[in-house]
Amino acid sequence: MKNFSTLLVANRGEIASRVFRTAKKMGLRTVAIYTEADRHSPYVGDADLSVKIESSYLDSDAIISAAKKSGAEAIHPGYGFLSENHEFAMRVQNEEIVWVGPDPQSIQIMGDKIEAKKHAIKANLPILESVNDASSVKDIGYPLMIKAAAGGGGKGMRIVRDESQLEESINLAKNEALNAFGDDRIFIEKYIERSRHIEVQVIADKHGNFLHLGERECSIQRRHQKIIEESPSSRIDPKQREKLTKASISLAKQINYVSAGTIEFLYDDDSDELWFLEMNTRLQVEHPVTEMVTGIDIVEMQLKIADHQAIEFSQSDVLFNGHSIEARIYAEDPVNDFLPSNGKLIADRKHLSNKIRWDTGVSEGMTIGTDFDPMLAKVISHDASRDLAASKLAKELEKTHFGGFPNNIDFLINILRDENFLKGDTTTDFIDRCKPSRSIELDFVETNFLLTSAALWLQHESRTNANVLSHIPSGWHNARLPHQRVSFSIDDQDITVQYKRMRDGSFVNDNNQIAVINEVTDQSIDIEFDKIRRIVNITKHDDLLLIQHERGNKLIELLPRFKNDQELVQKGSLVSPMPGKVTEINVNVGDDVIKGQTLLVMEAMKMNQSISSDQDGIVEEIYVNEGDQLETGTSLLLVKPSDE
């Protein structure tokens, strides 16, 4: 590299680690920035040097100060945060620091989705009709999609199906957009029900070379955020691909684009029509699938282009090999409407099979909070065919021992195994239409094996940690006594396991099923139960046990032997459905409310959630204040039915 030797990444988590990986390969010295919340995050240790900032990853002054303090001559913004902030890019350049990305003018043009559409029209790209305010929605009709003008990633997006939802949806979208991007402008366009999200990766240097690296499909989304991406699309044929890539290059040339960028399109599965959506002037979360099928390191290309190097190959040199699929692991609860979750990551033991790549921002023992986006890691597979790539990715997720709080891994596995997914029927309404199960449901035999394994692993742990008589086998007695008992909570059910140790060292339960322990460690148990033998990974933290079964992991709770009466939640109480901060309280004590009325709003991981009344009534108590940081299950307020 001629123009810089030290690179600072103005980001955190998995993307920081991913950029460091390539930068080190290229011989660059690397610098991380971190806040107190990230003091123990893995990416900090992945850099050669790290600098603490006292504010946030949106503080441009702190980031530039860190660059100067560390001797960084270049800044890579990653994605999110300030990556598409043209003022930050300009400030970096004015400080004579190399900006690894497009020029500030391109960021400004494409960062405003309303302005971006004007340039798309100049480049002869088709666009969806849109309006800028609620008074004009009659011109395009329902259903509608509200979008933030200044950013993406699902923030500030809402589907509106009728007029009754419009006002509140606009307010929520504006608040999310302001929190995420510092800009509450929105626009409204027609919502296409059976569509696909198709995007084209482009690369351009400072010497007039423009190339594309094929397309990705990112249609499977929840809350308008992508969870599974792939390359190539299973729907796009060579003629359509030619049309998409030609249009993308046309737009990149129209704005004299430089560096890596992504042109996004909406594709109507019924009519085969396509429309320009937006251009992302940064690295995309899903860039690994393109790297897997082309063999091209996109971050390396970004760094070389920032160093004024010319692209060393032509479009005909870009070859596409096989199929790649990426799954995003989120700290969220699919069973609870995908609301954010938090807690300690008690296990992170990856399977690491062939042709699998992990881009991760977490490690075992970390506490996951609600300060940042809930994405924890990306798992990427690659193989000769789409079916093989999907199968290998599902198997990787099943065989990896990962968890400690609600996450979406089971949901991802169910999608990858779904027959509609495997057929390529992956429009943006996939989750609502195909309804893949949001958890792994175990049958009686599977549950019995899992809980028996847990019970016998616990009895071994108890003997290992015993302070007295540790040499006596668990459950030993010289008289006829009842079976040993241990109770668990699994999938909202309380189940008791009963077992007795036999003279030969085996165990028998109350159904006369025999269990033989071949080996047991502090991380697993090799058990033969009812003549079926498996090695079961188990991790314990307090009263939680993460147990790996054949199709994934289950987080279960060890119940106390003697239960105290729990205080019942008072009828009419509303509780927090997720960890987060109270941002609005819209009622006062004594107010009359109706069913469905928004009572307060919570925010977590840049997402707003309205808490609505479940009945007509009167607000009798309010237990929280604006600004309070709450845990899941915290009582919020009490609504008494009107007739009481």
Cα–Cα nearest to 245, from 236, 235, 258, 234: 236
Question: What's the rounded mean pLDDT across residues 426-448?
Answer: 95
User: In this structure, what token pair is assigned to residue 143?
Assistant: 């259903």
- pLDDT for 213 equals 98
Instruction: Find out whether the peptide bond into 238 is cis, omega within 30 degrees of 0.
Output: no
Q: Which CATH number fits the domain that encloses residue 10? A: 3.40.50.20
- pLDDT for 608 equals 79
- pLDDT for 562 equals 67
Task: Please state, in angstroms and rounded to a whole number, the distance separating the CA atoms of residues 474 and 8.
Answer: 56
**Residue 377: is its pLDDT beyond 80?**
yes
Choosing from 100, 119, 154, the residue where a domain stops is: 100
pLDDT band at 156 (very low <50, low <70, confident <90, very high): confident
Note the pLDDT tens digit of each residue in 218-233.
999 998 899 999 999 9
Torsion sign (Cα): 583, 589, 592, 593: positive
Task: Please state, in angstroms and rounded to a whole number, the distance separating the CA atoms of residues 418 and 437.
Answer: 9
Task: Please state, in angstroms and rounded to a whole number, the distance separating the CA atoms of residues 230 and 219.
Answer: 9
- pLDDT for 204 equals 98
Burial of residue 207, with CB atoms counted within 10 A of its CB: 0-12 exposed, 13-18 middle, 19 or more buried: exposed
Beta-sheet strand order (sheet of 6-9) = 49-52, 29-34, 6-9, 74-76, 98-99
Is there a contact between 418 and 436 (Cβ–Cβ < 8 Å)?
A: yes
- pLDDT for 469 equals 46
Alpha helices, DSSP H only, in 26-112?
42-46, 60-70, 86-94, 104-111
Burial of residue 159, with CB atoms counted within 10 A of its CB: 0-12 exposed, 13-18 middle, 19 or more buried: middle
Choosing from 533, 558, 583, the residue where a domain stops is: 558
Question: What's the rounded mean pLDDT across residues 296-318?
Answer: 98
User: In this structure, what token pair is assigned to residue 585?
Assistant: 């309280």
Is there a contact between 102 and 261 (Cβ–Cβ < 8 Å)?
A: yes
Note the pLDDT tens digit of each residue in 180-194.
777 888 889 888 888
Q: Which CATH number fits the domain that encloses residue 158? A: 3.30.1490.20
Residues 142 and 226 in one domain: no
For residue 482, give Cα distances in angstroms to 286, 455, 470, 475, 552: 56, 16, 21, 10, 33
Residues 186 and 42 in one domain: no
Q: Which CATH number fits the domain that encloses residue 585? A: 2.40.50.100
- Is residue 168 in a domain? yes
Burial of residue 390, with CB atoms counted within 10 A of its CB: 0-12 exposed, 13-18 middle, 19 or more buried: buried
Residues 185 and 202 in one domain: no
Cα–Cα nearest to 370, from 606, 154, 34: 606
Q: How much of the chain exceeds pLDDT 70, in percent?
A: 95
Is there a contact between 35 and 56 (Cβ–Cβ < 8 Å)?
A: yes
Residues 183 and 223 in one domain: no
**What is the pTM for the complete model shown?**
0.87
pLDDT band at 135 (very low <50, low <70, confident <90, very high): confident
Which of the residue ranges 326-330, 404-408, 635-639 would you say has the lowest mean pLDDT?
Answer: 635-639
Residues 355 and 500 in one domain: no
| Tally of domains in the chain | 5
Residues 455 and 421 in one domain: no
User: In this structure, what token pair is assigned to residue 296?
Assistant: 């091209």
- Domain residues for the domain of 185 are 129-190
Which of the residue ranges 235-239, 343-347, 468-472 would you say has the lowest mean pLDDT?
Answer: 468-472
Beta partners for residue 609, in sequence order:
602
Residues 220 and 341 in one domain: yes
Q: In 14-97, where do the E strands start and end?
A: 29-34, 49-52, 74-76
Is there a contact between 351 and 548 (Cβ–Cβ < 8 Å)?
A: no
- Is residue 354 in a domain? yes
Residues 184 and 240 in one domain: no
User: In this structure, what token pair is assigned to residue 230?
Assistant: 């792939």
Residues 622 and 477 in one domain: no
Mean pLDDT of the chain: 91
Residues 27 and 169 in one domain: no
Residues 180 and 202 in one domain: no
- Is residue 111 in a domain? no
Choosing from 434, 462, 483, the residue where a domain stops is: 434
Alpha helices, DSSP H only, in 368-507?
386-399, 409-417, 419-422, 430-434, 444-464
Note the pLDDT tens digit of each residue in 540-589.
999 999 999 999 999 999 998 765 544 445 666 788 888 888 999 999 99
Task: Please state, in angstroms and rounded to a whole number, the distance separating the CA atoms of residues 551 and 561.
Answer: 30
- pLDDT for 177 equals 83
pLDDT band at 254 (very low <50, low <70, confident <90, very high): very high
Task: Please state, in angstroms and rounded to a whole number, the distance separating the CA atoms of residues 484 and 278.
Answer: 62
Three-class SS of 194-224: CEEEEEEEEEECCCCCEEEEEEEEEEEEECC
Beta partners for residue 481, in sequence order:
none
Residues 291 and 348 in one domain: yes
- Is residue 108 in a domain? no
What amino acid is encoded at 461 in this protein? Answer: E
pLDDT band at 476 (very low <50, low <70, confident <90, very high): very low
Question: What's the rounded mean pLDDT across residues 80-93?
Answer: 96
